[in-house]
C-alpha cells in the first residue's frame, strides 16, 4: 500500500478541520425546550392582552397598480417605469437571465377593510415572493403616514415568471438574478400607492366568504398519494354599496404551469384567473398564494395554454359557487400579528449536517422581519405565513377551526421568506423541499403550527374585547 505524504496528510486534516468548523449537526432539540419558543410565548401573552375586535358596518376600498415594466429602454426612469434589463425570478436554472419581453401585464392589487376604528389592508402582488427588503422599506414609508405593519396582510401570487433583481446573497441571486436597488425602490413605491389608493376608496360595503373543492387541479409533489393535500379554493367577496366589488381568492398549487423555459414576464395561471373575473364578473380580483408547500398544479395543454386553462377553470367554478344571498353588512373584524422568533438559521449540506449560521447568512441574508398574521372576518379566518407553507398542515388547521364553527385559509409569502415549512416527518428526505429549502431544523413545522394554534385561539375568543 502506498504511504501518504506529509503534504497529503496535512491536506486531509485541513479539509476535516474546515468541515468541522463550517458545519454543525442537525439540531434535534424539541422546540418547546428552546429559548426562541420562550420568547414566542412572551410575545403571544402580550398579544392576548392587547388584541381586540371591532363590530360595525364594513367599509371597503380597492385598488390596482401596474408593475409591468417597460423593458429594453436603456437608461432607467422610475417615474416612467422604464428599465433596460430585469431578470425573471423563480428558477435557478435560468441563471439570472433577463426577461425577453412581456407576455401579460402584472399588478399589485389591494383591498382595504375597515370596521369602526379597526382597519386592515390585504395586498396581492404578481411576484414570486414579497421580498424582505421591500417589506422593510414599505413598512418604514407607511409608518410615516400612520399605517403600521400589523395592518398590512401581504401575499404574492408566486408566479415563477415575474420580476427578479431583489434577492440578496449567493442563493438569492441564483433564483432572482443580480440585485437592482432602483427596481426595489420602484416596487416599494408601487406597493405604497396600491395601499393608499385602497384606503382612499373606502365606502360602505358587504361581504361573504366560502370555498369549493378544486382537488383535481393540484397534487402532492413531495410524496404523491402517500401524503395529503389542501384541495380548497377559498374566497372572500366584497361589494361596495352602489359602487365596485372585489373577489379575494386563494388556491394551493404552485404557479409553475409555464416552467423554466419561459423567458417572458407573466402572472402565470393566477393572472388568467384575475383577467377572466375582471373581464366578466368583478372589478378587482386578488389572488393569494395558498398553502403551496409540496403542491403542484394539474392542468391541460402546453405553455401559456396550460396557464390559461387552469386559471380560467378556477375562475368559472368560482363564479358558479358564489352565493350573494349571504352578504353581510356588519362585520366583526379582528387581526393579530406575531413577530416570529426563529430557530438557528442553517442551510443543509446532508441529511445530518448543516452549514453554520454565519456561512448560511453569506448565502442568503437573515430574514429578521418574519411574522405570522391572522385576520378574522365574522366566522372566516385567513392566516398568513412567511414561507411556502405546507398544504398538509393547512388541512389540519382547517379541520380544527371547522370543528369550532370557523372557515379558514392559509396563505404564503407575506413579506419575508423562510423556505419551506412542512411536516417534520419529511425533514430527512433527500429531496428539494426538506433538504435544500428546510433551513430551520426538523421542528420548524411543529413550532409554527403551535404558534398558529395559539394565535387563532386568541382571535376566536376576542368578541368581548370590542372597540
Q: What is the DSSP string of 370-393?
A: -EEEEEEETTEEEEE-SSEEBHHH
Tell me what the mean pLDDT of segment 382-389 comes to. 98
- Alpha helix (H) residue ranges in 89-233: 132-144, 169-176, 181-200
> What is the structure's pLDDT at 1?
47
Using 50, 70 and 90 to split pLDDT, how confident is the model at 363?
confident
Give the three-class secondary structure for 213: strand
Q: Measure the CA–CA gap between 5 and 12, rounded to whole angstroms.
A: 11
Tell me what the mean pLDDT of segment 207-212 comes to. 96
Inter-residue contact 177 to 98 (CB < 8 Å): yes
The more confident residue out of 457 and 21 is 457
Domain positions in the chain: 54-459
Burial of 205 (0-12, 13-18, 19+ CB in 10 A): buried
- Identify the residue whose cell numbers are 441563471: 95
Strand partners, 240: 205
Using 50, 70 and 90 to split pLDDT, how confident is the model at 464?
very low
Tell me what the mean pLDDT of segment 170-199 comes to. 94
Write down the mean pLDDT value for the chain: 93
Q: What is the DSSP string of 42-73?
A: HHHHHHHHH--EEEEEEEEEEEEEE---B-S-
pLDDT at 9 over 60: no
Strand partners, 337: 373
Tell me what the mean pLDDT of segment 308-332 comes to. 94
> What is the structure's pLDDT at 359?
87
> What is the structure's pLDDT at 170?
81
Residues 232/153/295/214 CA torsion (nearest 10 deg): 20
Tell me what the mean pLDDT of segment 269-277 comes to. 98
Decide the pairing of beta strands 203-213 and 420-421.
Answer: unpaired
- Identify the residue whose cell numbers are 344571498: 325
Inter-residue contact 387 to 130 (CB < 8 Å): no
Range with the poorest average pLDDT among 90-99, 244-253, 292-301, 380-389:
90-99
> For the chain, how far is it from start to end, CA to CA, in angstroms?
83
Q: Measure the CA–CA gap between 259 and 261, rounded to whole angstroms.
A: 6
pLDDT at 305 over 60: yes
Give the contacts of 16 (CB within 8 A, at least 6 positions apart): none
Residues 39/41/45/46 CA torsion (nearest 10 deg): 20
CA angle centred on 28, ends 25 and 31, rounded to 5°: 135
pLDDT at 334 over 80: yes
> What is the structure's pLDDT at 463?
54
Q: Measure the CA–CA gap between 110 and 108, rounded to whole angstroms.
A: 7
Chain segment 411-422, per-residue pLDDT in tens: 999 999 999 999
Chain segment 29-46, per-residue pLDDT in tens: 999 999 999 999 999 999
> What is the structure's pLDDT at 20?
59
CA quadruple 197, 333, 211, 242: dihedral sign = negative
pLDDT at 457 over 90: yes
Amino acid at each position: 500500500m502506498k504511504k501518504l505524504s506529509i503534504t497529503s496528510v496535512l491536506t486531509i486534516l485541513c479539509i476535516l478541520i474546515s468541515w468541522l468548523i463550517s458545519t454543525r449537526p442537525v439540531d434535534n432539540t424539541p422546540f418547546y425546550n428552546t429559548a426562541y419558543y420562550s420568547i414566542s410565548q412572551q410575545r403571544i401573552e402580550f398579544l392576548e392582552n392587547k388584541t381586540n375586535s371591532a363590530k360595525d358596518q364594513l367599509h371597503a376600498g380597492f385598488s390596482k397598480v401596474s408593475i409591468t415594466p417597460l423593458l429594453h429602454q436603456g437608461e432607467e426612469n422610475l417615474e416612467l417605469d422604464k428599465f433596460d434589463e430585469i431578470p425573471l425570478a423563480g428558477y435557478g436554472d435560468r441563471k439570472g437571465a433577463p426577461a425577453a419581453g412581456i407576455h401579460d401585464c402584472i399588478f399589485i392589487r389591494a383591498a382595504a377593510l375597515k370596521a369602526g376604528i379597526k382597519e386592515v389592508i390585504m395586498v396581492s402582488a404578481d411576484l414570486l415572493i414579497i421580498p424582505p427588503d421591500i417589506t422593510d422599506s414599505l413598512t418604514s414609508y407607511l409608518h410615516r403616514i400612520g399605517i403600521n405593519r400589523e395592518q398590512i396582510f401581504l401575499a404574492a401570487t408566486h408566479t415563477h415568471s415575474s420580476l427578479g433583481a431583489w434577492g440578496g446573497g449567493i442563493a438569492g441571486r441564483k433564483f432572482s438574478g443580480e440585485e437592482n436597488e432602483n427596481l426595489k425602490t420602484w416596487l416599494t413605491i408601487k406597493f405604497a400607492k396600491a395601499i393608499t389608493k385602497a384606503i382612499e376608496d373606502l365606502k360602505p360595503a358587504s361581504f361573504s366568504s366560502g370555498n369549493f373543492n378544486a382537488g383535481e387541479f393540484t397534487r402532492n409533489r413531495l410524496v404523491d398519494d402517500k401524503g395529503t393535500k389542501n384541495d380548497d379554493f377559498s374566497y372572500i367577496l366584497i361589494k361596495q354599496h352602489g359602487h365596485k366589488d372585489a373577489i379575494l381568492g386563494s388556491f394551493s398549487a404552485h404557479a409553475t404551469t409555464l416552467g423554466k423555459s419561459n423567458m417572458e414576464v407573466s402572472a402565470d395561471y393566477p393572472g388568467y384567473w384575475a383577467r377572466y373575473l375582471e373581464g366578466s364578473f368583478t372589478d378587482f380580483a386578488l389572488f393569494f398564494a395558498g398553502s403551496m408547500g409540496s403542491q403542484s398544479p394539474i392542468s391541460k395543454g402546453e405553455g401559456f395554454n396550460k396557464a390559461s386553462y387552469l386559471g380560467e377553470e378556477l375562475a368559472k367554478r368560482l363564479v358558479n359557487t358564489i352565493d350573494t344571498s349571504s352578504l353581510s353588512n356588519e362585520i366583526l373584524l379582528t387581526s393579530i400579528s406575531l413577530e416570529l422568533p426563529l430557530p438557528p438559521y442553517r442551510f443543509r449540506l446532508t441529511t445530518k449536517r448543516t452549514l453554520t449560521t454565519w456561512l448560511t447568512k453569506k448565502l442568503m441574508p437573515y430574514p429578521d422581519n418574519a411574522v405570522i398574521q391572522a385576520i378574522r372576518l365574522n366566522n372566516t379566518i385567513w392566516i398568513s405565513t412567511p414561507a411556502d407553507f405546507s398544504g398538509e398542515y393547512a388541512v389540519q388547521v382547517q379541520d380544527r377551526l371547522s370543528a369550532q364553527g370557523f372557515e379558514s385559509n392559509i396563505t404564503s409569502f407575506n413579506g419575508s421568506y423562510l423556505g419551506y415549512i412542512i411536516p417534520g416527518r419529511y425533514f430527512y428526505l433527500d429531496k428539494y423541499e426538506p433538504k435544500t429549502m428546510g433551513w430551520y431544523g426538523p421542528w420548524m413545522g411543529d413550532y409554527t403550527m403551535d404558534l398558529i394554534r395559539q394565535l387563532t385561539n386568541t382571535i376566536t375568543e376576542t368578541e368581548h374585547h370590542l372597540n
